Structure formats: structure tokens, C-alpha cells
Structure 1
Amino acid sequence: MKKHKWMYVVVDEGHKLKNINCQLSRILRQISSKNRVILTGTPLHNTLAELWALLNYVSPEIFNDWKIFEDLLTTNSSNQQIIEQEKQNKIISSIHQILAPFMLRRTKPEVGLDLPPKKEILVYAPSTPSQQILYECAVNLVKSAKEQKSDKFTLECSVIDGRKRRKSTKIIDYKQYYKDFDELYDEESYTSLIADESVIELPKELVGSRQDNQYVSFGRFNRYNILMQMRKITNHPYLVQWPYDHRKGRLVVNEDIVRTSGKMRALDELLQQLYVRKNRVILFSQMTKMLDVIEEYCHYRKYQFLRFDGSTKLDERQQYINEFNTNDQIFMFLVSTRAGGLGINLCGADTAIIYDSDWNPQMDLQAQDRCHRIGQSKPVIVYRLVTAHTIDEKILQTANSKRKLDKMIIQKGQSFRASNQQNGDQQRTLTLDELIKILESTDFKAIYNYSTDKLESDRLYSDEDLKKMLDRECSEELIEIGSQFNRSQE
């Protein structure tokens, strides 16, 4: 391709060029062309520097200094700082004018797709006792290393490679994967977190004996992955240590797979109601090992499911998609967010569950649109699960800041460009009231908080709350069930 001079180079899913130094970007820039076009539904993911990288590819002569562009506005700016900047310098309005000649954007309503409504609900879940202790251990580990000014801290434990992931509901014999468990097992290594000379004891309920259940550890704690380990703990403690029945030669799967995780408790209550109502579900997770846990849960609850992740062969992917869309008996489709978030149509489902959020909000938006697209005839509801008072809330806060930037720069800018085209030469800019409304807006139509008086019971949410959570009627006003005070009592 480099040998020829092209009239046009058209790059589909062009947001992959957001890193100007990535290999794809470098190779495409070597192709000589008179015109360049980028096709993408998400031109702004994290920062304005990424948007500049796309513009630099399209027109490198004009957009040749990324620092000037990036310094205009950042996701770290507070709402008040953004408002003051707009008052003094009209920065956002200036960006809209810069982008106007280079961007043509059409949203679903503008092209007349006539899709049913989509409603997103934020569902807060508590941390279970085992999650709280593990999370505290992780936090203390970091504090201990900071005090000793050391990077050399780790969770000393035997690591057994994870079992093969299933592609269907076929039962697997676990003995073949853990036949050498006796040789790998070291009783001392399962009892403490070691940070240099200091030792942090693990909770008793997570330490098995040789006579009863033992535990399989799936990773090591260190400075460079502690954030990921904290995310694992908030998702499910089995991602750190999963009970293993040495006598039966397999991982333990019982009611504890639900009880030991706050998110799983919330998920279980939702799925039971969705199953009765004959709704069909796509569940997204960032972690394939979390999908492993949910697979076991589906077997335990006898839910039929399919699974799609990065290891799924190309010739099997479309087969699974077609099977799900045509077979109403399949209740759930388990999908890894990155592998299944683009280019597939799962309109056979009317419910999406984001089990763990991505730092990049566009990944989750692309994922939930797998079922809210052409061919969908039912209202779609999206549940986003969040473990209260954990790193989950920080991820959500960061993602909301990035979404705020997208709404200000891309979405509002496009509406002004369309308005200005209709009004001829009369230029309309962003007013302060409109800016404040954007900054205070949220993608969520409802927020559901668990009640602390139900933490010790079998249910997190009352029948009345679940009925409201399952209501697919869209409201313009944000609805919040339960109080923030209840969550703060945890």
C-alpha cells in the first residue's frame, strides 16, 4: 500500500488512533494520500490530547502542536473551574469553532432509527465481611510499604494456573487441572500477607485446613498490581482465593459463591426477577476470571448461558451470536467488555449488566449498545453494579469526568453546529446555564442504595425496590431509592 498514492484513506473505528505513538498510527501515516477520513462513534475517550491525535492524522499541517490543544481543558478541572474558564475565555465555545470544519456527526435520533428507550440504573452493593477484611489488608499493605519506603512487598502464596475457560454449559472434571495440588500446597503461604518485615494476617474464613477446604490463589500482591487486586476483591473474593475441596478434587461451588460478594448478592436478586419475567441478559465484565466465577454461578442456579471473550475463536463468535439471538431458552450471554464491546449485535437481549466499570466510559457505552441497536424492539435497561466505599466509586467518578468532557466538547458542539447550519451565518455559542446543566447531568436515570438493616438478611433489596428497579419506563428526573446515609453506615 505504501507504494501507491491514494486519493482517500478511510479508517474505520478510527478512535484506535488516539495514541499518536501507537504502531497502527505510525503505519497509517506512512501511506500517502490526498485525503484522510476517520469513522468513529467515540472520538473523545479520556482527554483532549486523544482527540487532537485524530485531528493531527486528518490534518497534520493545522494540528501540529498538541500541548496547546490539551492545555485548554482537562478532565481534572472542577465544575467551578470550568465555569470560570468559560466566563473569562470562552474556551469551550472556541473548541466548538475549531472542530466545526472537521467533524460531521449523526446520532441515533437524527438518522431516524426509532429505537426503543434505554434506561441506565446505578445499583450499589455492600462489601461482605470477607471482602472488607481482604480490602483492608490490601490498603494496609500499601500503607506498610509506604512507611518502610519499600517496593518489595508481595503476597507469598502458591499460585496455580487457572482452569480452562468453558465455552458452553458442559461440565468439566477439575481433577485433571489440580492433580498436583499436594505438591503446590504450602500451608504457611496461605496465612499472611508479607510486606518486608511486617506481616498482615489474612481473615480466618479465607484460610482453609488440609483436612477440610483449601484455597487456590490466582495471583500475587505487589506495588504494581495492587490496584487490580483491589478491583478483584470488590468484584469477588474468589478472584483472590477460591475454596478448593481437596477430597473431591475441585473448586467449591455452593451458596457461598453468592454470599461472599456484595455484587453477586445484588446480581443474584436481579437475575432471579429477570428470569421470572423472561427478560434476557448480556453481562459484561473486564475480567475473564470474573466470568469464570459467574459461569459457576450460572451452573449452580441452572441458568442457560453462552460466553464470548478474547479466547473465543473467530469462526465460533458469529455462531454464538446467532444462537443467542434466535434461541429464547438461552438466558444470559457472558461477554468480556473489551472483546465483545464492538461490532456485534446482541439485540436478542433487552437487559445489559455492567458488572465492573471501565476507567474509559466509552468502552461501557459501546458495550451496552450491543443490545440497543437496529433490530431491538423492546425497551432496554442497563444495570451498573458498584461496591460502595471502594475503588469502584473512584472508577465511576473518573469515568463521569471523562463523560462530562465528551458531553461538553463533542455532543453539545455537534448540536450547535447543526443549529448554526439551520440559522445561516448566525453563530450560537454555549451559554453558562447550558454548561451548568451539562456539568450537573448524569447518564443514570435511577440510583438504588441497599439498606443496612438488610445486610444480615438473605435480601439486599425489598420487593418494592426490586419492582422499581425492573420498571422500564424512562423518567427525565433522577430517581434515588435509599439514602446515601445508609451506605455511609457500612
Structure 2
Amino acid sequence: IKERSGLLAIKWLRVILDEGHIICTKSSKQSIAACNLDAERRWILTGTPIMNELNDMYSLIKFLRFTPFDNFETWNTIFNNKTMKFKNNNNSRLNDLRNLMKTVCLRRTKDMKFNEHPIVCLPPINFYTHKIKFKTDEKKIYDKMESDTKEQFRSWKESRNGDLKNNYVTFLEMLLRLRQICNHTQLPCKRQINQINGIDNKEEIGNLNDFKISSKIEALVEFLNQNNDDDKSVVFSQWTSFLDLIEIAFKDANVKFVRFDGKMFRNQREEAVNNFNNDPEIKVLLISLKCGSLGLNLTAANQCFLMDPWWNPSIEDQAIDRIYRIGQTRPVSVFRIFIENTIEDRVFELQKKKRDLIFQAFEEQQSNESSNIDEAQLKKDLQVLLGEN
């Protein structure tokens, strides 16, 4: 047995995990190390105890050492997806889960009240979904990529040796390309686009000098041009390469902006946030989704644009909360810009199911939809994303 060293060698009175959902994958090194800490008392702070599936909660329960549920066999016997029927609110296992959550969790949300008064007094927030259509050339590229992806998926599904685990990474990459095309056809590598157009070219990366505004960027610029003088907006995307293309369009449209992403040095990020918050001439902050979903106060903004849907709605919620939080004095508008009849519609539907899973587990709202998200249903999820259901 290896001798315990470093943080593991210390007998702690209390260990508090901030943003504790980071340990949600039980096999990760972070999760294993956190669970092995020797502490008399254990706390977890998180706004997103369930990120993707119910088993995300297990790692948190294991860290808390809440027996017998910290044993995975026990947990899986009681709370596996076959016994959890989320569309049936009278299901005994669902009630067991809710009782467990009430026992170990003190949950507070912005809409909760105490003595008939809101816990947090904030101005209203409104959500808008703006669906737009592809341009003709964009649709041609998307349709060809989607057709190729569907064909490969059907071929794999009909194969006797079809194994999702062996093909999963390939399909994820193809889905990634579809999602990128929804933002801009230059996001996938140039060689892929040339192959779709029948051009023999080995160039890997699109030339930004050949930039042509996409339907989605065009819609964003139109929104910003309609803003009032005191409006400030935060634009989120999960791809910094897409932020590069938005920058080009902003410069052409004379939109004053700053940028915040993980490639910048800390002092550069701090300067960007400070300039956005205090310079009335700067109207927009461009920010990468994961980099901007934690630890920032952006209450100077009153508008949020989510340019591409992320698989995990909790990441988007945390990004929105950079703007809609204590200190916000103005009504907030959140805009989700989608390309209609594409994979983005289907990602949004999967998001709804994941949100419903969280609401059902904590008994925060009723829903008629099933939220049975399970790795065993990956094939079904892929079919949904490809419009094959």
C-alpha cells in the first residue's frame, strides 16, 4: 500500500468542494483523489449536481460518504435507469431519489421564496429562440455532410458486427462537423468542404481573407444593430475559431467589442472584462462558452447570445448566470440562435430531456416528458440527432 502524501496525508476537519460537479465522473483522477481525502466533515457546493445523467450524482454521494449509497452496486441497484421511471411521478424509486436529495442537499434557486418574498430580488429574464434558414450554398454543404453521416450510421446499424463503442468517436466527430457548419461553413477544415464541392484541394484551413458572412453571424449583427445605446451584450460560442469569424464581421460592421477566451493571459482577460464593464463605447464581449461559464461577473450586460447549443444545458445555464445574478439591475434577454431543420433543433430537444431529469430529481416541476438519459440509449440518441427516429 502506498504511503499517503501531500493533501491525502492530512487529517482535515472540513473539506469543501466548490463547483463540486467537476468530480461527477467517478473514474476520473480528480474524483478518485477527492474521495480519498481524509476529512471529518465534507461539503459540496454546486449549482449543477446533475450534468448529463443520474449517475453524475453518485460521485457526489461517494465523496460525502453517505452510506449505503456510496457503494456503487447499491446505488445502481436502487437508482439505475431501468427502475427510474421519470414519466411516472408515483414511481417508488423516484420518490426514494427525491427523499435522498432532501436529506443530503440544501437547494436554493432564484425563483424560490421565503415568507412569500423572493430569496433573491432580480429583474425579469426573458428567453427567445430565433430560428433562421441556411443560405443556398450553406444548405448544399450541410445536406451533403448530413447525408454522408446518415449513410454511415445506417451502414453501421445494419452491420452484424456493429459496435457503438468502436464507432462512437467517429460519429461524434461527424456530428461535430454538422454543428460547426450550422455556424459557418469555414469551421470544418477546408479539405472537407472542398470534397463536398468536388474540388481536389489539400488545404486544411480556410483562408480568413476569403471570409463570407454566414447566416448565423448575419442574424447576430442585425440584432446588435437594433440595440439601444445603453445595451451591452455577451456573445457565447463553444468554438474560439467561430469567435475569430465573428470578429471579422464585427470589424466590418464597426461593432465595438472585446474578447475573453482561455488562450489569453490572465491580465489580458481581466483587462477585457474591465473594459467591457466600464467603457460605454464597448458594446459586446465575445467569450468562449466553457471559459466564460464560471467565476465571472458580467452584470454590465443585459443581453446574452448563445450562438450554438451545447450538449449539456447546465453549462449554458452557468454562462447565463454570469449576467443574471446578484447585482443585475436591468431586465435580461437571452437569445438562442438556431438554424432550423438541422442537428441544432435535435440537440435542443435532448437538452430539454436533461433539464427535465434535474427538475424531476429535485421535484422542482412536473413534466410529461421522459428523461431517461442512459449510455445504453446512445444509439437512440444518435438516431434522434440524425433525424432517423
Settle same-fold status: TM greater than 0.5: yes
Unaligned runs of 5+ in 1: 151-220, 244-249, 413-433, 441-490
- How far residue 288 of structure 1 moved from its aligned partner, in angstroms, is 0.7
Q: State the partner residue of 1:446.
A: none
SS at match of 2:345: helix
Equivalent of residue 263 in structure 2, options 301, 311, 314: 311
> Is the CA contact 1:253–1:300 (under 8 Å) kept in the aligned structure 2?
no
Q: Name which of structure 1's ranges 57-66 and 26-35 shifts more when overlaid on structure 2.
A: 57-66
Secondary structure of the residue that 2:104 maps to in structure 1?
A: coil
* Cα distance in 1 for residues equivalent to 2:174 and 2:119: 47
Q: Is the 8 A contact 1:48 1:73 kept in 2?
A: no
Residue 55 in structure 1 maps to residue 61 in structure 2: yes
Cα pair 2:86 2:357 within 8 Å, conserved: no
The equivalences for 1:336-347 within 5 A come to: 336-347=288-299
> How much does 1:240 deviate?
3.1
Residue among 220, 245, 256 paired with 1:293: 245
Give the secondary-structure state (helix, strand or coil) at the position aligned to 2:98. Answer: helix
Q: Paired residue for 1:68, among 68, 71, 77?
A: 77
CA distance in 2, matches of 1:69, 1:308: 44
Contact 2:120/2:326 (CA < 8 Å) preserved in 1?
yes
Runs of at least 4 residues off by over 4 Å:
143-150, 221-224
Structure index of larger Rg: 1
Q: Read off the aligned partner of 2:239 and give its amino acid letter.
A: M
2:36 maps to 30
Is the alpha carbon distance of 1:146 and 1:411 closer, same or farther for their aligned partners in structure 2, counting shifts above 3 Å?
Answer: closer
Partner of 1:227: 175
Compared CA separation, residues 388 and 35, structure 1 to 2 (3 A):
same
- In structure 2, the partner of 1:373 is 325
Aligned to 2:223: 270
Partners in 2 of 1:253 and 1:69 — Cα distance? 57
* Whole-angstrom CA distance in 2 between matches of 1:94 and 1:148: 42
Q: Which residue number corresponds to residue 378 of structure 2?
A: none
**What is the aligned partner in structure 2 of residue 117 from structure 1?**
124
Contact 2:11 2:38 in 1 (8 A): yes
- Do the aligned partners of residues 224 and 132 (structure 1) sit closer, same or farther apart at CA in structure 2, a change above 3 Å counting? same
User: In the alignment, which of 218, 235, 247 is matched to residue 283 of structure 1?
Assistant: 235
Query: In 2, Cα distance between the equivalents of 1:149 and 1:44?
Result: 31
- d(CA) in 2 for partners of 1:147 and 1:114? 52
Render the CA deviation track for 1:252-288: whole Å, top value 9, x for unaligned: 367x41xxx33223212211112x4431100000111
How far apart are 1:143 and its partner, in Å? 4.6
Distance in 2 (alpha carbons) for counterparts of 1:147 and 1:333 = 42
Change (3 A) 1:317 1:373: same
Alpha-carbon displacement from aligned partner over 1:345-397 (angstroms, at most 9, x marks no partner): 01111000000011000000000111111221100000011111111011101
Match of 2:147 in 1: 140
Residues 116 and 377 of structure 1 are in contact (CA less than 8 Å); yes or no, is this contact kept in structure 2? yes
Partner of 2:313: 361
Residue 104 (structure 2) aligns with: 102
Q: How many Å apart are 1:315 and its aligned residue?
A: 2.4
Q: What do the CA deviations read for 1:117-141 (whole angstroms, capped 9, x no partner)?
A: 1111111111221221111221232
- Name the CA distance, whole Å, in 2 between partners of 1:341 and 1:399: 17
- Partner Cα separation in structure 1 for residue 246 and residue 322 of structure 2: 20
Does residue 86 of structure 2 align to residue 82 of structure 1? yes
Is 1:91 aligned to residue 39 of structure 2?
Answer: no
Q: Distance in 1 between matches of 2:136 and 2:331?
A: 37
Task: State the Cα distance separating 1:14 from its structure 2 match.
Answer: 0.4
Shift of 1:114: 1.3
Tell me: CA distance 1:387–1:69, structure 2 relative to 1, closer, same or farther (3 Å).
Answer: farther
Contact 2:19 2:45 in 1 (8 A): yes
TM-score, normalised by the number of residues in structure 1: 0.63
Question: Match of 1:19?
Answer: 25
Q: Structure 2: how far apart are the matches of 1:50 and 1:149?
A: 29
- For the 8 Å contact 1:49–1:69, the answer to whether it is kept is no
1:4 to 1, 10, 30: 10
Q: Which of 365, 369, 384 pairs up with 2:336?
A: 384
Q: Distance in 2 between matches of 1:296 and 1:311?
A: 18
- Once the 2 structures are TM-superposed, how far is the Cα of residue 70 of structure 1 from its aligned partner? 4.0
Stretches of structure 2 that go unaligned for 5 or more consecutive residues are 1-6, 158-168, 194-206, 371-389
Partners of 2:183 and 2:209 lie apart in 1 by 18
User: Which residue identity does 2:135 align to in structure 1?
Assistant: T
Partners of 1:62 and 1:238 in 2: CA distance: 52
**What CA RMSD, in Å, does the superposition of the two structures yield over aligned residues?**
2.7
Shift of 1:330: 0.5
Instruction: Describe the shift of the 1:54–1:149 C-alpha distance in structure 2 as closer, same or farther (beyond 3 A).
Output: closer
In structure 1, distance between residues paired with 2:156 and 2:277? 54
Q: Is the 8 A contact 1:308 1:317 kept in 2?
A: yes
CA distance 1:12–1:222, change in 2 (3 Å): closer
CA distance in 1, matches of 2:272, 2:363: 34
Distance change (3 Å), C-alpha of 1:148 and 1:399: closer
- The reply to whether residue 239 of structure 1 matches residue 187 of structure 2 is yes
In the alignment, is the contact (CA less than 8 A) between 1:125 and 1:262 conserved in 2? yes
* Cα distance change, pair 90–148 in 1 and its aligned pair in 2 (3 A): closer
Structure 2 length normalisation: TM-score?
0.78
Task: Pick from 292, 309, 321 the counterpart of residue 273 of structure 2.
Answer: 321
